[in-house]
Chain A
């Protein structure tokens, strides 16, 4: 039985990203969670996610999520959005993305981000 509102968890996790609050962000994930962005190799667990996220905090002034559609499908949340990456050098990239977020209980066990992040980094 699912007792937690998974959609609220997802929105709270994105809010943590928007505050550059990596410590809170990782608490939404189980410690063996798989986290994969685009074509990059997946990282695993709190330390893997932290190691991936910290350089991004340095690179971007802000990362915001403009949610377009959210689907709750049993223990999966699918989120379609435009992500706005504002870089410290002033460049802004708006990138369409779908996250597929699989939960085990109230923790995320897998997050797959489907996007082409190239414009945010080039």
Chain B
């Protein structure tokens, strides 16, 4: 067992307001794939649940483009957000509206790493299978 990061933010770090604002703006969503990609660093990594890790903005553009074509829209309702050093942890309810109009609400946790005002890593911990069930 390896623990590389143990801290109490109220004792060790002030909350990082800039990173929190960035994540809140990102989760508010945009219809523009170009604007979505602007949130990410060029060498970003992105992973949803058990899927392969997507590396780099070009690969993310292709993956995000495919995903956006499969759903009508995605809304995020933030339940709790912590901003600690360069990480932002966000518990949220993700509401996926499918092409058939059905809205599916799923529990989700997003784990961000922010470097120089860009998302360098995003891991999404959620089971999205209900979104893609026939």
Contacts and interface: CB of A to CB of B under 8 A. Distances in A.
A116 B129 contact: yes
Interface in B15-44: none
Contacts of A36: 107
* Interface SS of chain B: mixed
Interface in B106-130: 106-109, 111, 123, 125-130
Interface of B: 1-10, 47, 49-50, 80, 82, 84, 87, 89, 91, 106-109, 111, 123, 125-130
A100 B91 contact: yes
B82 A114 contact: no
Nearest to A81: B1
A11 B1 CA distance: 10
B127 A118 contact: yes
B8 A96 contact: no
B3 A116 contact: no
B109 A38 contact: no
A36 B123 CA distance: 20
Contacts of A11: 1
